């Protein structure tokens, strides 16, 4: 039996170089001392770092522009600045740990506070941090802002309060501060500070004589502040509090009106993260506010927690919990009403006076609604042990989650989590509240990812800070997936297959992505396939008009002596470009050969 040979035109399935893996250069900056804080200017892209004894100003790609020494200097935690050796004989050279590093973009300045000299602060130019705008070390206790204890955290928020200045300005710029107390701190837990001279007061003094909470019993409970943020007219603080009677760690969310000069509106309550089986994660390590995964949850608090080591058997256990801000507001108002209306259940076991002790709830009528931001008729802030409970959307055993940041890509929520082991975990949060980890990056082995996890101005890169290094990573590597199948299997919510360009891209980088079936999301539709062919097969003797071109010998198709057909890989490409669309195995047969193989074959 004679064999027969065909030649068919098969359009190339290759595409230009550069549409495959795109290597990227790892960009990083190393500090000589331990890093404490990282902030990014959303307008210029400039990166600012606060470190032990130093401040750094970097370009977006982490090239050094300016460096400033902030320590060491003669100091003693018991002494009041300015430090004079004759007045403070115990003074020795001490490191200056950066406690606060904040941008005041409207005023073009940087706020920085250190652990030296009782936690005093300075203002510097954003464009050149070497230029110090304001610094005063002789104002006494009224200028002590941050904690001077290296182990006690301090958080801050720069915002505007008061009425506009008449020219459409944002009002007065102030600094809200939350801090715990070390053995030589001034006892102030929460305060509001001026950032400009006003009524004879200098920057960093209290906004009014009443805008400060001072702990009434320093030895009873201790606080470690985690985060501060604003939502409309309110400022929120997140902190851990170690109660001693009874001994218990509590995560607390506190809220107050920005315009409240007396702190009458201050309210705090417990924030609890529970696992699916009811186990409690009681210590908050980091928090971030961003839009939620559903339209109903406009703003959500994303927080990472861990279990108390005593209750976890020594094995690290962590969880991510979500708290819609609307639900936090609702629960706080519910609690305020209970206390102010003297409702049943408003006992001293539930309500207390923050930082000072017990409280007796009495009826004030409709005071909670009538005086939303407090008044002299409600002369005390409130605390409640009846707080908000969230169910963990992600739980991890064997690791400590230390950082969290959130972004939205085409309406899809992406959560990036840092660990104490030096990894970044990438998590896709679905609209139904479930989550799936789709990748991870090893930043530095066994180097803790610090809390300041920040996106670049355009959202394409992530700045990650470890003990002494800042690194910049791309948030996605879509171009590294060279086929539609690889792109889909990545499950990266940033990525999709750009059909007419034959590459894996972000939607924004695909020219005709808005047209139906032109950009196939990695979590969506399947790749382009041939679902059927008409006719389903074809005789080699079929007559028709076709384009024929001789193929290289290794690409010719020979019908073997033991078969009556051959399957040919047909590759479909877009127009005359070499962009691969799909491929399909198509059978060609020869009835004459079939009859030669077996008798009675129809």
Instruction: Give the predicted TM-score (pTM) of the model.
Output: 0.84
Higher pLDDT, 162 or 521: 521
Mean pLDDT value across residues 270-299: 89
What stretch(es) of the chain map to CATH 3.30.1680.10?
478-521
Mean pLDDT value across residues 434-452: 94
Mean pLDDT value across residues 572-580: 62
Tell me what pLDDT residue 24 has. 63
pLDDT in tens, 123-164: 999 999 999 999 998 888 888 999 999 999 999 999 998 765
Query: What does DSSP say about strands 188-194 and 212-214: parallel, antiparallel, or unpaired?
Result: antiparallel
Is 90 exceeded by the pLDDT of residue 367?
A: no
**Residues 574, 500: Cα–Cα separation, whole Å:** 7
CATH architecture of 478-521: 2-Layer Sandwich (3.30)
CB within 8 Å of 324: residues ≥ 6 apart: 292, 296, 297, 298, 299, 300, 301
CB within 8 Å of 586: residues ≥ 6 apart: 533, 537, 538, 567, 568, 570
> Do 332 and 373 touch, CB atoms closer than 8 A?
no
CA dihedral defined by 534, 535, 536, 539, rounded to 10 degrees? -150
pLDDT in tens, 189-218: 999 999 998 888 889 988 877 667 766 544
pLDDT in tens, 67-107: 999 989 999 999 999 989 888 888 899 999 999 999 999 99
The conformation of residue 54, written as its DSSP 8-state character, comes to E
Tell me what pLDDT residue 379 has. 55
**Residues 69, 411: Cα–Cα separation, whole Å:** 43
Mean pLDDT value across residues 276-293: 92
Tell me what pLDDT residue 198 has. 86
Question: Based on C-alpha coordinates, what's the Rg of the chain?
Answer: 32
Tell me what pLDDT residue 20 has. 38
**CA-based nearest residue to 319, from 402, 236, 224:** 402
Residue 485, helix vs strand vs coil? helix
State the CB neighbour count (10 A cutoff) for residue 232.
10
Is 50 exceeded by the pLDDT of residue 516?
A: yes
CB within 8 Å of 479: residues ≥ 6 apart: 19, 20, 21, 22, 503, 504, 505
């Amino acid at each position: 039996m004679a064999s027969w040979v065909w030649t068919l035109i098969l359009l190339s399935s290759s595409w230009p170089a550069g549409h495959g893996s795109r290597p990227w250069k790892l960009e990083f900056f190393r500090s000589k001392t331990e890093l404490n804080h990282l902030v990014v200017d959303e307008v210029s892209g400039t990166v600012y770092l606060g470190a032990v004894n130093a401040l750094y100003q970097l370009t977006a790609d982490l090239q050094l522009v300016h460096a400033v020494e902030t320590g060491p200097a003669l100091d003693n935690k018991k002494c009041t600045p300015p430090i004079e050796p004759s007045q403070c004989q115990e003074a020795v050279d001490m490191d200056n740990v950066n406690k606060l590093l904040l941008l005041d973009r409207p005023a073009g300045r940087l706020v920085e506070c250190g652990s030296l000299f009782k936690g005093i602060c300075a203002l510097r130019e954003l464009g050149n941090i070497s230029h110090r705008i304001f610094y005063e070390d002789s104002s006494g206790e009224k200028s002590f802002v941050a904690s001077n204890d290296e182990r006690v955290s301090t958080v801050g928020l720069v915002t505007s309060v008061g009425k506009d200045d008449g020219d459409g300005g944002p009002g007065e710029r102030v600094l809200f501060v939350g801090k715990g107390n070390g053995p030589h701190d001034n006892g102030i837990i929460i305060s509001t500070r001026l950032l400009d001279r006003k009524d004879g007061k200098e920057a960093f003094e209290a906004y009014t004589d009443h805008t400060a909470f001072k702990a009434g019993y320093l030895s009873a409970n201790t606080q470690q502040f985690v985060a501060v943020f604003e939502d409309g007219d309110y400022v929120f603080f997140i902190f851990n509090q170690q109660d001693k009677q009874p001994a218990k760690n509590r995560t607390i969310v506190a809220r107050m009106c920005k315009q409240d000069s007396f702190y009458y509106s201050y309210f705090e309550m417990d924030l609890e993260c529970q696992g699916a089986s009811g186990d409690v994660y009681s210590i908050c390590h980091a928090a971030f506010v961003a839009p939620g995964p559903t339209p109903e949850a406009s703003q959500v608090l994303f927080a990472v927690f861990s279990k108390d080591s005593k209750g976890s058997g020594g094995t690290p256990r962590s969880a991510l919990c979500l708290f819609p801000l609307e639900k936090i507001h609702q629960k706080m108002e519910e609690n305020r009403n209970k206390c102010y209306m003297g409702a049943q259940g408003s006992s001293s076991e539930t309500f207390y006076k923050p930082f000072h002790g017990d409280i007796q709830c009495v009826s004030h009528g409709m005071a909670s609604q009538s005086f939303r931001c407090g008044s002299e008729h409600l002369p005390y802030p409130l605390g409640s042990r009846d707080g908000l409970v969230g169910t963990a959307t992600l739980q991890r055993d064997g690791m400590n989650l230390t950082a969290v940041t959130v972004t939205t890509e085409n309406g899809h929520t992406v959560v990036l989590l840092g660990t104490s082991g030096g990894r970044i975990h990438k998590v896709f949060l679905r609209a139904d509240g479930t989550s799936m980890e789709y990748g991870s990056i090893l930043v530095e082995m066994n180097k803790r990812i610090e809390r300041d996890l920040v996106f670049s101005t355009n959202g394409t890169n992530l700045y990650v800070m470890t003990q002494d290094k800042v690194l910049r990573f791309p948030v996605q590597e879509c171009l590294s997936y060279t086929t539609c199948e690889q792109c889909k299997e990545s499950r990266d919510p940033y990525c999709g297959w750009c059909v007419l360009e034959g590459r894996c891209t972000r939607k924004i980088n695909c020219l005709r992505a808005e047209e139906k079936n032109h950009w196939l999301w990695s979590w969506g539709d399947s790749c382009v396939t041939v679902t059927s062919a008409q006719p389903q097969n074809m005789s080699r003797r079929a007559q028709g008009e076709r384009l024929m071109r001789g193929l290289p010998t290794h690409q010719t198709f020979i019908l073997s002596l033991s078969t009556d057909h051959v399957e040919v890989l047909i590759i479909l490409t877009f127009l005359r470009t070499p962009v691969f669309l799909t491929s399909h195995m198509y059978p060609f047969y020869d009835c004459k050969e079939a009859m030669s193989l077996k008798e009675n074959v129809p």
